[in-house]
Structure 1
Amino acid sequence: MQKKALLSLIALLCVMLALAACGNGKSNDQNSTSSSSPAASEASSPSAQTDNSGGDNVATANDKEFTIRVGAWFLDDRPHEQALKKAVEDGYKKLYPNAKIQWDVTLGGAYFDKLKAQFASDSAPDVTFFQQTDWFKAGNFMDLSNEPWVARLTEAGKKEPTVTYQGKLYGVPMEGSPSPGVWYNTELFNELGLKPPTTVQEFMDVCEKIKAAGKTPIALGFKDVWTVQMFLVSWIQSYGFVNDPDFGKKVYEGQIKLDDPTIQAVYKNFQTMKEKGYFNKNALSIDWPASAQLFASGDAAMIMQGPWMPGANKDNIQKGGFKSFQIGYFPLMDDKGNVGMTLGNGAGLAINAKTKLVEESKALVNLMTTQDVIAPWLAGDGALPFFSDVQVAFDDPVMETVKSFVDKGVMSYAIQNVIPTSSMTALTDIVTKVVSGASFNPSDLKAAQDAFEKDKESVVLPY
């Protein structure tokens, strides 16, 4: 019995020694990677994950295969847009070698309707470009207030109303977009002895001389509704905010109604231009790229567009084989020549609050704010950076003209920041109606005011 007990004891001790050896072996394997090795660095990073299902191997999130979706409405075939996509893809490949970026692009205003439906069905992209602030109240976007790129924002960027809500940042202000304005063919102006107008009457006089020369004065692509709103809002800025810095606030508080004479004056300008034939006859049936072709070809002398126009025009001239010309710029003005300007965020970038790729989405957004990625894109779009460490070099000298108007113009937030979407849509519809040939009637503005009163609470105020 004693011998049997002794053998049992010896066996037990052997088992215990073996277990101890196994334990020490695992510990040694884990410690064999020094803290300075790449594997250790990845494991200690926020994006690293330890796989405990297979034993002793350590894997990082960087190694996994996944597809991350990015939504946008503007990534067309222009060189700087394609360059942006390539820069993002190349940079992201260094962070996540096995990842794939899926670009969910729907050009124009239809994108926003689609995005709204996607959020309603939990199928929205992981990272998405956006405009307006309706998404914040709906809880669609993730709070990004503590992301590393926030410290690099300028003070204006940190306070940009299109990306902030209740004191928090829900998006990146990707581009400081100067006011849209009128871009003109300087060679054609010189041939006709024209100078950039400084008052509405001078603008009308220029249009008349261009029409008399057999050219379309100004090209419109109003099939894209956003171009209608852009034209309307830009003119209201100069009529409203220059004479009253609190114009927008008074509109929101009801002290100024949407049928105010100041706003009526803008619609009367549209009617005058329509009646005198200053727009292309197919203004309502072509989109903005088609209107840009009219301008690039020399058939139209002017076009009302955003600061991306210089780059787009060079591209259109090259592709169409048109005669090259230097582009000029002047902003829309009121009857006295006053100019109201904005430097708004042309495109915000946000993360879907329900994304399953949280760290991966944050890494993508951070990448897109870096100098090498964002600066060439801003140059192509004619936009200014909201990041203090991003420098943009513009190729076209006309951008200095744009900047000079920004510097001396009366700056304010855009009027649409205090008007609900439904009301803005009604205001835009009236412009379309006038351009179709119908006479403007101040009573038409009642629908816009009614929509304003109904949906006023949906506005996220910029002040």
Structure 2
Amino acid sequence: MKKRAMILCALTLLAGTVFAGCSNSKNAGGSPGGSETPASASSSATASGAQQSEGVSNDKKFTIRAGAWFLDDRAYQVAFKKAIEDGYKKLYPNAKIQWDVTLGATYFDKLKAQFASDTAPDVTFYQTLDYAKAGNLLDLSNEPWVSKMSESSKKDPTLNYEGKIYGASGWGYLAGGIWYNQKLFDELGIQPPKTVQEFLDACEKIKAAGKTPIALGFKDLWTADMFLMCWLQSYTFPNDPDFGKKLYDGTIKFDDATIQKVYQNIETMKSKGYFNENALSIDWPQSAQLFASGEAAMIVQGPWMPASNKENIAKGGYDSFQIGFFPFMDDQGHQSLVVNSGSGLGINAKTKLVQESKDLVNLILSPEIMGPWQEGEGSLPTLEGVEVKSTDPVNDTVKQYLDSGLTLPYKLSAFMPASASNAMIDVLTKVVSGVKFNPSDLQAAQNAMEKDKATVVLPQS
């Protein structure tokens, strides 16, 4: 994909938007649907809000299962679930939504096992096209909301397989960057760094002030994946737009000097004490607490960070501060950000509640439900009619970076099998644990690429 086309693709997501996940490297009994009484398809849902057809009522009793990995106890997540339950009750007064939630990456292993045993939820949020390739997801190409998706989201590698749509995005994500305590930066006279050396200099100044430069929560391995892939993003594609394809073709190897440089940077940061000592034993919420409390100056996270940080400060009684943002960079100051869905909302191909599941998806995608939730997530709407409101000034900063640099709809990991990505994360966690980086450690990723290359679905250009 040419640079101009890629920038236009991302800007499509941003049109008319004011800015408000978990990525996934390491990924109950009963039949699908959990129906108490088989429910008939007696309601029709519109793309704008799943409104029941006039004169139609459905008093059948049934339980519909909905799966997710991110629905925790944050206020906007609780409100999201309640709005869905209330809206669905209007469509099906005697229906019950059973939430099948497992927080974090464990969800994906569980979902894979559930599909294999025919016990997966009727409606589920998911990541990667593995489920569509395996025939687990219903083809949703003819659903009314598809025509309201942005053109870039229709091509999203999470949603589109062999020209068919298997999941709704409804939201787009800035796939990670560096959020910082602007108050602390101002007190220390630090400007947002533009090069790696400036970044390391900032870390040294923060450490000298008695603070942890960057809070890591690598017990959640998706945060490790985000950290690594975001930094690789700015070292690779701005300098070689075909870097990912070359890695896939084998003309670039995993021990390439560019990839090594990122690991060497991380080794330097570890050796100088720029990470919290418990980086591998705490999860992302705990790392977010370090950041909110003022103990750590920076954190690598997704676009939900501004809203989450405000909530963490309020709950913890910490001193308030304005959050800032800047992307990872390379030695020369090149930077690249990723905007994509990163996840989909699909329907179990074997559900006994086909229409009821479609109605639930349409309801979730309605502006009344999707808009407020996206504000909390800090995500970008990719469905016509959905608006996200936010007054946080950091969102203007994010937009400036997106407008001024290389924005892509995919990460480097889109060009490799999950096994290779996992092998790269294993090397990262070793380095963060204090083990000296050895380029030969990346051979495991190369072996995984060669072994599992057939599982890769390359991003569309």
TM-score range, shorter chain: 0.7 to 0.9
Q: Does 1:86 align with 2:82?
A: yes
Correspondent of 1:335 among 312, 331, 334: 331
- The letter for the 2-side match of 1:190 is D
Contact 1:43 1:60 in 2 (8 A): no
Structural mapping, 1:55-454, within 5 Å? 62-412=58-408, 413-454=410-451
- The letter for the 2-side match of 1:133 is L
* Cα drift, residue 82 of structure 1: 1.0
* Cα drift, residue 316 of structure 1: 0.4
- The letter for the 2-side match of 1:422 is S
- The letter for the 1-side match of 2:424 is L
Map Cα deviations across residues 404-454 of structure 1 (whole Å, 9 max, x no partner): 211222122211111101111000110000000000000000000000100
SS in 2 for 1:350: strand
Q: Identify the residue that residue 31 of structure 1 maps to in structure 2.
A: none
Map Cα deviations across residues 37-69 of structure 1 (whole Å, 9 max, x no partner): xxxxx998569xxxxxxxxxxx97721111111
Contact 1:219 1:300 in 2 (8 A): yes
* Cα drift, residue 228 of structure 1: 0.2
Structure-2 separation of matches of 1:323 and 1:264: 39
* Cα drift, residue 346 of structure 1: 3.2
Contact 1:174 1:346 in 2 (8 A): no
Structure-2 separation of matches of 1:423 and 1:119: 23
* Cα drift, residue 95 of structure 1: 0.7
Structure-1 separation of matches of 2:141 and 2:118: 23
Structure-2 separation of matches of 1:77 and 1:204: 35
Contact 2:224 2:429 in 1 (8 A): yes
* Cα drift, residue 72 of structure 1: 0.6
- The letter for the 2-side match of 1:460 is V
SS in 2 for 1:68: strand
Structure-2 separation of matches of 1:87 and 1:305: 26
Structure-2 separation of matches of 1:273 and 1:244: 26
Correspondent of 2:457 among 447, 451, 460: 460
- The letter for the 2-side match of 1:143 is D
Contact 2:170 2:365 in 1 (8 A): yes
Structure-2 separation of matches of 1:236 and 1:395: 31
Structure-2 separation of matches of 1:80 and 1:269: 36
Contact 2:255 2:439 in 1 (8 A): yes
Structure-2 separation of matches of 1:89 and 1:132: 27
Structure of larger gyration radius? 1
Aligned residues: 411
- The letter for the 2-side match of 1:421 is A
Q: Identify the residue that residue 7 of structure 1 maps to in structure 2.
A: none
Q: Which runs of 5+ in 1 are unaligned?
A: 1-41, 48-58
SS in 1 for 2:380: coil
Map Cα deviations across residues 376-416 of structure 1 (whole Å, 9 max, x no partner): 11111111011122111113111111122112221222111
Structure-1 separation of matches of 2:358 and 2:42: 17
The TM-score, its normalising length taken from structure 1, stands at 0.87
Contact 2:213 2:298 in 1 (8 A): yes
Q: Which runs of 5+ in 2 are unaligned?
A: 1-39, 46-54
Point out the more displaced range, 214-223 or 401-410: 401-410
Q: Identify the residue that residue 9 of structure 1 maps to in structure 2.
A: none
Structure-2 separation of matches of 1:45 and 1:267: 54
Structure-2 separation of matches of 1:214 and 1:345: 38
- Alignment root-mean-square deviation, CA: 1.5
Structure-2 separation of matches of 1:360 and 1:332: 44
Contact 2:43 2:91 in 1 (8 A): no
- The letter for the 1-side match of 2:251 is Q
- Structure number with the bigger relative contact order (C-alpha 8 A, sep ≥ 6) is 2
Contact 2:175 2:226 in 1 (8 A): no
Structure-1 separation of matches of 2:64 and 2:397: 40
Structure-1 separation of matches of 2:88 and 2:105: 28
SS in 2 for 1:128: strand
SS in 2 for 1:194: coil
SS in 2 for 1:399: helix
Identity %: 64
SS in 2 for 1:97: coil
Q: Identify the residue that residue 14 of structure 1 maps to in structure 2.
A: none
Map Cα deviations across residues 101-141 of structure 1 (whole Å, 9 max, x no partner): 11111111101011111111111111111111111111111
Structure-2 separation of matches of 1:119 and 1:89: 24
The TM-score, its normalising length taken from structure 2, stands at 0.87
Structure-2 separation of matches of 1:264 and 1:234: 15
Structure-1 separation of matches of 2:414 and 2:130: 11
Gap change, CA 1:43 and 1:442, over 3 Å in 2: closer
